[in-house]
Structure 1
């Protein structure tokens, strides 16, 4: 059983592909159960974010995972195969460490991925698909990420997606403080965006959410108000800036809704940011003259600012990761010997119990205890040495490495008089 990582990310696939294989948080456990039940997978964890969908696996047949991924999302395998990567053991370990450390993120060094990986681990634990190998992999990934962030400047001068959105809005509107802003959703990304935009003191902040209570809780932190998602159609025209990031499997803002809003606004421009994967806003909306629509991929160019100052830190981080990968692979190699060690101990214990039972019978018959103990020690010695002695005798000179292996196992010194 080996370790593999299968996935699609912002390096290998455009948003239009990534959104087709995204997993919603509430369905991850069900997906893991389906993967474990339908395929010969021993351990599995799913990491699904705006920028990546990855399946971490302990299996002997990694090929089945790509087929399962396509089938689960009702796609043909050929539709996603050009964008898929499958990393074997060493590369998979290095990849996990780089992801946790923020080195593989669209925003180099961003810290959110660490929390997302921990959520993936929690879901796998609850689904019962996180075994010893993956548990060790992720715990080591978190330790490496902590070391990288505490000993390098990888997290310095980060331009987040939220900050990038504010920068772009500033290109459209001279003063954000005069604009009305609508945030759709109440998750971590929307909260982060709301914090950045609120710092510009906009005229109005409104949170639209499926549950009004959660929307109100977030809105109160920024002096705003909340509405239900069902009110979007009638309220959309009131807002100059719209930022959306929900877990909806389908777009919640369609072309027709935006067209009506633009007419009501008398063609005053609207700045829209869609941070969701799958997308919350239909792509056709971006083709309208009075709408400036940006997706997570569109923000990539903006977040690259400040990247140069962190490139030196990448070299240091990669060195740390390379060293930790070797350590993990050494641990993994020892795991491969666990079954044979267990079998060896079981065989020895069976021999011990058998000889102990024989000795107890002799004692029960009144045999001399000293002789019984002496006989027990001889019988045990003979049983333990029978297999290696027989192997050496049968090998003769055909296996030159066997004598050295036995000498190493039993910590023996060569007899200087082999013929005596």
Structure 2
């Protein structure tokens, strides 16, 4: 079984390119269906890749495809993703990273643990990964291998967060936005703040801004019900997105993060707002991918617009304090990678053509059959009134004879060299003390 991954993130691709490959959570299932269908029908003969397991993780900072199948199909995966984003494979390849086998596991574990995030140690990515895995599972695209990969990712992330201080010194995007706003406005208690959207990121930002006691808070959302729920929590007002252009001038700070595929705050709306404000400055943060605010807004003289990438320099602080925690986390991840690769090796075709796991299953089935035969024979003897000690003696003798029959036959067969090799193997397997063997019922 091969495992491979393809991705772009905040380190490899600019914001606008990442926006072309952003998938909302409700788009994951049909997207996975399209990818699997493409892999199953590509080319002919050896070019086909049926039954490939797939999962997609898509956040503001990254889009990653994880796959598992009999043979890696990296080139096809890259071509499919490029086509879905409307770019050439060569352009995508120049901004993406490709990983196979142990490197996939290491990357997934680092992502889940917050080591690959713009905000080192941030916890939000773990929830986003779990959402992505649930979406893949619901879509029927997740198989044994990827499920094992992600479950181990979550376990490693939990150990990293409980055993290290990886997130103790991190500055979240929300905190960074507040810091930047504080640099622009002398007194945040005199500012009116508008939040566009009502998702997890906006809720986090609203929590940080509310702690500074701004003059007012308002939520603009596509559905009033969800917006009202968040507004009530912070004692703020609510409006529909359709009313946003006419009311934009009322606010000193605007923080936006929606799942819209197109900008919802255009250059014209901001220009009109600035005229009504008599060019009093506006602080704007666009945390969405694709963008919520047209990039041309940044050129306006009285607007201070920041994107997720602009916040990178703010959140990358206190690195020295976190180096020890990073080293601890990497050690935990190393152990997790070794464990996952061992699990993979057990399922690779290393014994005959079937691999170790099928052999284990055959051995268990054979011993179960022998056990059932001897138990059935013992029950018949007991039913006839035979002595219980004698029946148990016969049962144990019958089992050991069945288990040793093939081994003893091999010891007597072949030439001297073959018998010597067989004798070494038999000694290693059967003549070990109980303290060394332990419990190996699962082989």
Matched, 1:53 2:72: no
Are residue 323 (structure 1) and residue 342 (structure 2) matched?
no
1:89 has 2:108 as partner: no
Q: What SS does the aligned partner of 2:258 have?
A: coil
Shift of 1:70: 1.3
Partner residue of 2:18?
18
Aligned to 2:169: 157
TM-superposed deviation, 1:263: 1.4
1:168 to 165, 170, 180: 180
Residue 75 of structure 1: CA displacement? 2.5
Q: Distance in 2 between matches of 1:188 and 1:77?
A: 33
Question: 2:435 corresponds to which residue?
Answer: none
Q: CA deviation at 1:347?
A: 9.1
1:32 partnered with 2:32: yes
Once the two structures are TM-superposed, the CA of residue 261 in structure 1 deviates from its matched residue by: 1.1
The answer to whether the 8 A contact 2:111-2:125 is kept is yes
SS of 1:113's equivalent in the other structure is: helix
Q: Partner residue of 2:8?
A: 8
Q: TM-score, normalised by structure 1?
A: 0.84
Distance 2:129 2:151 in 1: 10
Contact 1:273–1:295 under 8 Å retained in 2: yes
Give the aligned partner of residue 370 of structure 1.
none
Q: 1:162 to 1:291 in 2, by over 3 A?
A: same
Q: Cα offset for 1:23?
A: 0.9
Q: Does 1:62 align with 2:73?
A: yes
Whole-angstrom distance in 2 between the partners of 1:388 and 1:87 = 45
Task: Determine the C-alpha separation between the residues in 1 that align with 2:61 and 2:428.
Answer: 50
Where does structure 1 lack aligned partners over 5 or more consecutive residues? 357-375, 413-420
Report the secondary structure of 1:4's partner residue: strand
Unaligned 5+ segments in structure 2 are 40-48, 349-355, 375-397, 433-443
Give 3-state SS (helix, strand or coil) of 1:251's partner: coil
- Which segment is superposed worse, 79-88 or 291-300? 79-88
Runs of 4+ deviating beyond 3 Å: 339-353, 380-389, 395-398, 400-412
Q: 1:386 to 1:298 in 2, by over 3 A?
A: same
Separation in 2, partners of 1:37, 1:407: 51
Distance 1:81 1:125 in 2: 28
> CA–CA distance in 2 between the matches of 1:264 and 1:194?
25
| 1:225 equivalent in alignment to 2:244 | no
Change (3 A) 1:289 1:212: same
1:332 offset after TM fit, Å? 1.4
Q: CA deviation at 1:349?
A: 9.7
Change (3 A) 1:339 1:170: same
Counterpart check, 1:338 vs 2:348: no
- Residue 143 of structure 2 is aligned with which of 103, 111, 131? 131
Aligned residue number for residue 219 of structure 2: 207
1:313 aligns with 2:332: no
For residue 79 of structure 1, what is the aligned residue in structure 2?
Answer: 91
SS at match of 1:310: helix
Q: Distance in 2 between matches of 1:49 and 1:134?
A: 19
SS in 2 for 1:75: coil
Query: Conserved in 1, the CA contact under 8 Å of 2:53 and 2:146?
Result: yes
Q: Deviation at 1:4?
A: 1.5
Distance verdict in 2 for CA 1:409–1:74, change over 3 Å: farther
**Contact 1:159/1:306 (<8 A) preserved:** no
Does residue 1:268 correspond to 2:311, yes or no?
Answer: no
Q: Deviations over 1:223-247 (max 9, x none)?
A: 1011011111111111110000000
* Alpha-carbon displacement from aligned partner over 1:269-303 (angstroms, at most 9, x marks no partner): 11000000111011111011111000000001111
Count of aligned pairs between the two proteins: 392
Structure 1 residue 82: Cα displacement: 0.5
SS of residue paired to 2:52: strand
Of the structure 1 ranges 203-212 and 380-389, higher mean CA displacement relative to structure 2 is found in 380-389
Distance change in 2, residues 1:300/1:387 (3 Å): farther
- How far apart are residue 331 of structure 1 and its match? 1.2
Rounded to whole Å, the distance in 2 between the matches of 1:404 and 1:11 is 54
Matched residues in 1 for 2:72 and 2:428: separation?
Answer: 35
1:222 Cα deviation after fit: 0.5
**Aligned-pair Cα RMSD in Å:** 3.1
Q: Matched residues in 2 for 1:116 and 1:15: separation? A: 19
Q: CA-to-partner distance for each residue in 1:151-177, whole Å, 9 max, x for gaps? A: 111111221000000000111111111
State the secondary structure of the residue aligned to 1:257.
helix
Contact map agreement 1:252 1:281 (CA 8 A) in 2? yes
